[in-house]
Structure 1
Amino acid sequence: MEVTQKAPLKGGEFIIKPTAAQDVFTPADFTEEQNYMHQTCLDFVGTEVQPLLERLDNHEEGLMRGLMEKAGHLGLFGVSVPEQFGGLDMDFPTALRVTEGVGGGHSFPVAFAAHTGIALLPILYFGNEEQKAKYLPGLTSGELMGAYCLTEPGSGSDALGAKTKAVLNAEGTHYVLNGQKMWITNAGFADVFIVFAQIDGDKFTGFIVEKNTPGLSLGNEEHKMGIQGSSTRQVFFADAPVPKENVLGEIGKGHLIAFNVLNIGRIKLAAACLGATKMAATLSVKYANERVQFKMPIAKFGAIRYKLAQQAIRIYAVESAIYRAGSDIYRMEQQLMAEGKGANEALLGAAREFAVECAILKVEGSEVLDYVVDEGVQIYGGYGFSADYPMDRAYRDSRINRIFEGTNEINRLLAVDMILKKGLKGEIDLMGPAMAVQQELLSIPSLSQEEETGLFSKEFKTIANLKKAVLMVAGTAVQKYAATLAKEQELLMNIADMAIKVYTAESTLLRVEKEAGTKGVEALSVQADMARVYLTDTVDTVEKSGKDAIGSMCEGDEQRLLTMGLKRFTKTELLNVRDARRRVAAVLIEANEYAF
């Protein structure tokens, strides 16, 4: 992928600065090669995975591993791996595109993502040359399978509270591991485990542990609500000796591995959810066209058309945001490499820079999937509740995504915390815009009307005002609570919900404006409907979350002033959302699939 746009804004800077449409990447910008990789994944899932879903859910011996090996042979594991280790050495947006392509495979993308992401990438990014040479070729080809051991019975979100211990033996040759890990994806067939343990009680450190290590044992397969085809087991270490040379990265720096890899994992999870949403939306459209009630297909009923349209609108919006952020990460990576950083260091640095956006997308991606499959069940009606129809599995499999890669609550808190810390460190200028909003609150609103030009001139003005609402609420929260703000989680969740929707709505408008500049406004008229409906919903979210936050923080005159400001910043013209959604639904029904 060629970098034709200028360097992106800094991570989190979207909240204070506008972005020009020509400076974003959209799915229309994908190359033939990237689309080919995506289609290869869709074909693989359709021909190799979908026919085996029932057998996978029953944990037929060797079946998932066999599918994974086939994916490895196709080169799907090596998208991000350098050619010297057998990989394709392709860019980050391509890796997202591949992840989206396998996303509709139910349990398969869980195994795929665990292997290609949190199991392989730690060695790629933090391993020394000997470790890379030993493990990466096998992990890339599919000869070796990987798993990632972080969570313990007593430490989930609090990953650094792990109790697993690593003690150097008397000879100084091996670390002896003792402890327990749980919810370990791929554990049943993994050859290589990335394990985190405490050295000297407080030096959180990563290790590469092979499956034949004495003292390593596995629990039984877990019985889960969803993703039943994925292998999920506990992993036990009882005096398990790990060679000293298998320490991954620096002693005491395991958090750098865990958290940096999670930044990438979060946006990739959003991409996998995107693939699953498109599959579920297509199933919804097909069923609505086929199912006849009162002598006509249910797709002709307004209540069903609303659901089909709203599924598509939310999918289109989150897709816009995912590939906007993915390209920003890629361009920042290229910038860091131009400054002399190594390839691995550059990508990690770029993902760290956009950790805010990665957290936002993890939340929005997983919640859009939950919405789409929930409405899919409803469209199917009683059949949606039957295990003989596809929405049953889709519904159950979706639920884990709001827990994976940090719960959505943790990611909401992180997103706001990271933006505020960037402001405090001076990495982005939050203070200036926040003070400007405070001044605007005390001024008389201008009645002058600027001449409206451009496809979305009114809508971008609304986006600018919504950002002011976020700054107003966040600025007030910082003033009120200062160092104790972290304890006000309900308030931080309000701010996060505002920011998540604003980022996604802006991304959608930018995508449509850019593509309309190439294809013409008429060709993008329905996509413009989608962007406007999503913005209307965003305004409602910002108003509701803002009111909840203001009511929690303020009383009297201050509350009245902030409420007036919120009304000013969320004031918009009414949109005929019924007709807009009908136009969206008509395209879906005609195409008999998710068509955007």
Structure 2
Amino acid sequence: MELELGLKGGGFLLAEVTPEQVYVPEELNEDHLQLKKMTRNFVEKEIGPKIEALEEQEDGLIRDFMAQAGELGLLGLEVPEELGGMSMDKFSTVVVGEEIPRGASFAVAFMAHTGIGTLPIVYFGTPEQKAKYLPGLATGEKIAAYCLTEPGSGSDALGAKATAVLNAEGTHYLLNGTKQFITNAGFADIFLVYAKVEGKLTNFIVERTMPGLSFGPEEKKMGIKGSSTRQVILEDVAVPVENIVGELGRGHVVAFNILNVGRFKLAAAAIGSAQLALEVTLKYAGERKQFGVPLSSFGAIQTKFAEIAAQTYLAESVVYRTAGLMEEACQDLDVTGDCRKEAGKAIEEYAIECSLNKVLASEVLDLAVDEGVQIHGGYGFIAEYPIERMYRDSRINRLFEGTNEINRLLVPGTLLKRAMSGELPLLAAAKNVSKDLMSAGLGSEEEGLAALLNMTQKAKKLCLMAAGIAAQNLGMELKDNQYVLLGLAEMVLQVYAMESGVLRALKVQDMDVTEDHKLFVEKAATLGAYSAMNIIEQHAKEVICAAEQGDSLSTVLAGMRKLLRRPTVDMIGLRREIAKLVVEKGKYPVR
């Protein structure tokens, strides 16, 4: 069925999306909430007391935890029931992803196994591969690792040097090469390895017991110290031809689509981590006294809490909105059979949104832990306090699953590609904005959340206007002008975040939740939207000034001012009200 424009990947820029079209966390059902509770209980009871041993990489500890997670069904959420899994929806993976980070470095092993380690087989494997490997992966009997990065190729995945050559008998491929920074390499049983067959990237299932496979020493890392990170070295490893995942020479389809899912899942873990950082810091600030009163009573500290909570709210709104889109795209896939082509199309649809999720959530988490250390003062620098480890652990998320710079560049690149192919009428929409600016309209007498929704539509027009001017004036140069592309990407990111937060707030007003809950989402959506609009304004001016000049520039900037009109709000008052709710709850206030 043809998707509505607002629900197509990237289509939110061109259409008016309604609250009814977005999924929000307040819609989680009882099964989701029970799953969330069970996951937290498991992590806090089983892993929490052993985090120090985990950080020291105590032998066999992660395997034990993985086996326990397998017994609870947590490793097989997206594995078909027929193959030992749970066949659960994308919202289930989000609620589990939010809770797993309470287990520190265990979360890295868990996410690598259940996401980029298992899902290539779920979505792109043959029925025979699924029957052979998925039952063990779902129980934790077998642990998976994903092997794409090499010493000389990280973001440039297609620059991989590992090779696969078919033997004379035509039965096996001989794999040679080195993979770098491979999570779970120290104990994984199954490796999803990318190598080039006659210059074309192909994905193979490699088993640990296959001769010629060896490993480098454990990397000494800044954070996530409890996870295993090693080189995977292949020297004439004979892999059966039936172990090709996806299609021969089309490994990039598997790689890039699985990374899309990985980015979405990473974002869920990041918002859970941000909520935890806020909780840990609130507890400290409530107990620590300076000048005879708790730290949490100071405006300078409360401002930080308000910003963390509001930005976490936006990121959470984005993740659940995207979960709804991903669930809609993937729910009809028959993952028990051969669904390679359908899976590739379904997952690729929301590549833009997955990149936006990853960038936003990882940077919100960095805000939460950085301010967490600041609020802890000198104690935040001491390993005895959990915020110190959380600060170090968070930094990898802006590198994992493609750096944030690469993910930002993917956004305008994909939008322009879809515009050129006719999938998204991006340039036509940009021209319409120019026509709108010639009219006397664009004003609004609305107030409250309705005014925020109007401001969101103006933000979209501003984004389209900047993109249209850049495309028209820079032409083919635009695809290589990363200065401008990064500016456009930031605008798209902020539009998606502010709209997600506003639509959620509108939807929640009619839901059966507490008045404090409604108040928080309204205030957080408002603070988040105005902060986003300020960022959009800055980048719009920078992009337009880079692409336009002379009298035309003056005319464009004059027209742009119409789109920047918005009611004034008391930002300081908003922060004060949000902080009051956060401090009273002692945690992220809607969980």
TM-score (norm 1): 0.95
Inter-partner Cα distance in structure 2 for 1:87 and 1:520: 33
Would you say 1:502 and 2:498 are equivalent positions?
Answer: no
CA distance 1:373–1:445, shift in 2 (3 Å): same
CA distance 1:266–1:460, shift in 2 (3 Å): same
C-alpha RMSD of the superposition:
1.9
Give 1:477's aligned residue. 470
Does the CA contact (< 8 Å) of 1:125 and 1:345 recur in 2?
Answer: no
Alpha-carbon offset, residue 575 of structure 1: 1.1
Give 1:536's aligned residue. 530
| Cα displacement string for residues 559-588 of structure 1 (whole angstroms, at most 9, x for unaligned residues) | 212222332212222211112111111112
Q: 1:554 aligns with which of 548, 553, 559?
A: 548
Alpha-carbon offset, residue 525 of structure 1: 2.1
Inter-partner Cα distance in structure 2 for 1:527 and 1:118: 33
Would you say 1:235 and 2:232 are equivalent positions?
Answer: yes
Amino acid at match of 1:45: V
Give 1:587's aligned residue. 581
Inter-partner Cα distance in structure 2 for 1:254 and 1:345: 13
Give 1:386's aligned residue. 382
Q: 1:58 aligns with which of 51, 56, 59?
A: 56
Q: 2:417 aligns with which of 421, 424, 428?
A: 421
Would you say 1:137 and 2:131 are equivalent positions?
Answer: no
Inter-partner Cα distance in structure 2 for 1:140 and 1:181: 25
CA distance 1:336–1:237, shift in 2 (3 Å): closer
Does the CA contact (< 8 Å) of 1:115 and 1:145 recur in 2?
Answer: yes
SS at match of 1:456: helix
Inter-partner Cα distance in structure 2 for 1:290 and 1:203: 59
CA distance 1:491–1:521, shift in 2 (3 Å): farther
Amino acid at match of 1:416: P
Matched pairs, number: 585
SS at match of 1:446: coil
Question: In the TM superposition, what are the counterparts of 1:354-393 in structure 2 within 5 Å?
Answer: 354-393=350-389
Give 2:92's aligned residue. 94
Inter-partner Cα distance in structure 1 for 2:323 and 2:565: 32
Give 2:264's aligned residue. 267
CA distance 1:63–1:334, shift in 2 (3 Å): closer
Alpha-carbon offset, residue 521 of structure 1: 9.7
Give 2:202's aligned residue. 205
CA distance 1:6–1:75, shift in 2 (3 Å): farther
Alpha-carbon offset, residue 346 of structure 1: 4.8
Between the two proteins, what is the percent identity of the paired residues? 45
Amino acid at match of 1:464: Q
Alpha-carbon offset, residue 335 of structure 1: 6.6
Inter-partner Cα distance in structure 1 for 2:80 and 2:122: 9
Would you say 1:577 and 2:575 are equivalent positions?
Answer: no
Does the CA contact (< 8 Å) of 2:125 and 2:340 recur in 1?
Answer: no
| Cα displacement string for residues 164-203 of structure 1 (whole angstroms, at most 9, x for unaligned residues) | 1111122222211111001000000000111011112x12
Alpha-carbon offset, residue 381 of structure 1: 0.6
| Cα displacement string for residues 277-299 of structure 1 (whole angstroms, at most 9, x for unaligned residues) | 11101011111111100000011
CA distance 1:415–1:67, shift in 2 (3 Å): same
Amino acid at match of 1:439: K
Amino acid at match of 1:220: P
Q: 2:242 aligns with which of 241, 245, 250?
A: 245
Question: In the TM superposition, what are the counterparts of 1:68-83 in structure 2 within 5 Å?
Answer: 68-83=66-81
Inter-partner Cα distance in structure 2 for 1:136 and 1:495: 41
Alpha-carbon offset, residue 499 of structure 1: 0.8
| Cα displacement string for residues 85-127 of structure 1 (whole angstroms, at most 9, x for unaligned residues) | 1001111221222112213322111111110111111111121
Long gaps (5+) in structure 1: none
Alpha-carbon offset, residue 472 of structure 1: 0.8
| Cα displacement string for residues 302-344 of structure 1 (whole angstroms, at most 9, x for unaligned residues) | 000001111111111110111011101212334778xxx9767
Q: More deviation in 166-175 or 205-214?
A: 166-175
Inter-partner Cα distance in structure 1 for 2:540 and 2:87: 44
Does the CA contact (< 8 Å) of 2:5 and 2:12 recur in 1?
Answer: no
Q: More deviation in 568-577 or 184-193?
A: 568-577
Does the CA contact (< 8 Å) of 2:274 and 2:312 recur in 1?
Answer: yes
Give 2:285's aligned residue. 288
Long gaps (5+) in structure 2: none
Inter-partner Cα distance in structure 2 for 1:587 and 1:437: 40
Amino acid at match of 1:287: Y
Does the CA contact (< 8 Å) of 2:281 and 2:372 recur in 1?
Answer: yes
Inter-partner Cα distance in structure 1 for 2:441 and 2:13: 23
Q: 1:314 aligns with which of 292, 311, 316?
A: 311
Inter-partner Cα distance in structure 1 for 2:141 and 2:255: 24
CA distance 1:344–1:7, shift in 2 (3 Å): farther
Does the CA contact (< 8 Å) of 2:444 and 2:454 recur in 1?
Answer: no
Question: In the TM superposition, what are the counterparts of 1:396-435 in structure 2 within 5 Å?
Answer: 396-435=392-431
Amino acid at match of 1:261: I
Q: 2:557 aligns with which of 563, 568, 575?
A: 563
SS at match of 1:517: coil
Does the CA contact (< 8 Å) of 1:96 and 1:271 recur in 2?
Answer: yes
Inter-partner Cα distance in structure 1 for 2:514 and 2:537: 30
Would you say 1:467 and 2:460 are equivalent positions?
Answer: yes
Give 1:29's aligned residue. 27
Would you say 1:446 and 2:441 are equivalent positions?
Answer: yes
Amino acid at match of 2:329: M
Inter-partner Cα distance in structure 2 for 1:521 and 1:145: 42
Does the CA contact (< 8 Å) of 2:78 and 2:88 recur in 1?
Answer: yes
Does the CA contact (< 8 Å) of 2:453 and 2:499 recur in 1?
Answer: yes
Inter-partner Cα distance in structure 2 for 1:543 and 1:38: 39
SS at match of 2:170: coil
Amino acid at match of 1:505: M
Alpha-carbon offset, residue 353 of structure 1: 0.8
Does the CA contact (< 8 Å) of 2:70 and 2:76 recur in 1?
Answer: yes
Give 2:211's aligned residue. 214
Inter-partner Cα distance in structure 1 for 2:573 and 2:238: 66
CA distance 1:104–1:344, shift in 2 (3 Å): farther
Does the CA contact (< 8 Å) of 2:124 and 2:338 recur in 1?
Answer: no
Alpha-carbon offset, residue 40 of structure 1: 1.4
Q: More deviation in 550-559 or 257-266?
A: 550-559
CA distance 1:332–1:248, shift in 2 (3 Å): closer
Alpha-carbon offset, residue 245 of structure 1: 1.9
Alpha-carbon offset, residue 50 of structure 1: 2.2
| Cα displacement string for residues 435-464 of structure 1 (whole angstroms, at most 9, x for unaligned residues) | 1112234x25338x65537x5221111111
Q: More deviation in 73-82 or 344-353?
A: 344-353
Amino acid at match of 1:379: I
SS at match of 2:141: coil
Give 1:163's aligned residue. 161
Amino acid at match of 2:29: T
Give 1:10's aligned residue. 8
| Cα displacement string for residues 528-584 of structure 1 (whole angstroms, at most 9, x for unaligned residues) | 111111111011101111122122222221221222233221222221111211111
Inter-partner Cα distance in structure 2 for 1:263 and 1:507: 19
| Cα displacement string for residues 136-166 of structure 1 (whole angstroms, at most 9, x for unaligned residues) | 1001110001101100011111111111111
